[in-house]
Amino acid sequence: MIRVRIYNEFLHERNNEKVAKVYPDGIHNCIKGFLESDDIKVDTVTLDDVEEGLSEEKLHETDVLIWWGHMAHARVPDEVARRVQTEVLKGMGMVFLHSGHHSKPFRLLMGTTCNLTWREDGDFERVWVVKPAHPIARGLGRYIYLEGEECYGEPFDVPEPDETVLIGGFEGGEVFRSGLCYRRGNGKIFYFQPGHESFPTYWNPDVQTVIRNAVYWAKGDYRADKLEAPQVKKPGHGEDTHA
Ligand code: ZN
């Protein structure tokens, strides 16, 4: 059983009628709806309960954390962001969605500004599969077609990814590295660009496939208890560590 926790700030859906029509129960519940299955259990957290919902204890019980945030990145306490970073370094998997590129934990884990260029004209997007053999691309065709999305463009100020699985191409001609894999410490991180709140992106079956695949991919098999470097004795001198 994979234990997934979804953080969604849940503000646009409550403050904007247009967004509320697309996601009446919030983006987190849309994602929970298609993810939950016999082998995936999902809990959700919003900005209102971010302190308790992403406590050390709750993060310990999380295999993969999914993050959607946009207008309230600054209201996520630094301490929570550090806790998330620590847990990834120990081995928790993480999926950052859309505007999560500017969230505190993503910036901590990347170490760069994570800035990108953007415009919101409702352009179509083709999300091209550039690594068809990658587990996150399983079940996709050559590309995912999205009738309307916010345009995110390069340069995207992130470190060189370990793997680029998807590249978005927009109606205006811009391109963007839309599906990126990283390892930080023992943890795996996937960044996935589509998902602007006013478009029904998370209802798209191919987008759902990517997020589901990303959960299976990001779930680690190893979780360190703590991050402190241990002081050890010289092997073979009274302490056989392999015994
Ligand atoms: Zn957006």
Amino acid at 98: H
- pTM equals 0.96
- Total tally of structural domains belonging to the chain: 1
Residue 184 lies inside a defined structural domain of this protein = yes
d(CA 138, CA 239): 46
Ligand 1 centroid – CA 241 distance (Å): 51
On the question of pLDDT at 214 being above 70, the answer is yes
Residue 234 lies inside a defined structural domain of this protein = no
d(CA 71, CA 148): 21
Residue 231 lies inside a defined structural domain of this protein = no
Ligand 1 centroid – CA 137 distance (Å): 23
pLDDT value of position 242: 58
What CATH number corresponds to the domain at position 211?
A: 3.40.50.880
Q: Which percentage of the chain shows pLDDT scores above 90? A: 92
Residue 232 lies inside a defined structural domain of this protein = no
Residue 39 lies inside a defined structural domain of this protein = yes
Ligand 1 centroid – CA 51 distance (Å): 24
Q: What is the mean pLDDT of residues 89-112?
A: 98
Residue 165 lies inside a defined structural domain of this protein = no
Ligand 1 centroid – CA 173 distance (Å): 18
Per the prediction, the chain carries an average pLDDT of 96
Confidence of residue 127 (pLDDT cuts 50, 70, 90): very high
81, β-bridge pairs: none
Residue 49 lies inside a defined structural domain of this protein = yes
Confidence of residue 49 (pLDDT cuts 50, 70, 90): very high
Range of the domain at 201: 2-113+178-218
pLDDT value of position 232: 85
Residue 58 lies inside a defined structural domain of this protein = yes
Find, among 96, 108, 67, the residue nearest to 189 by Cα: 96
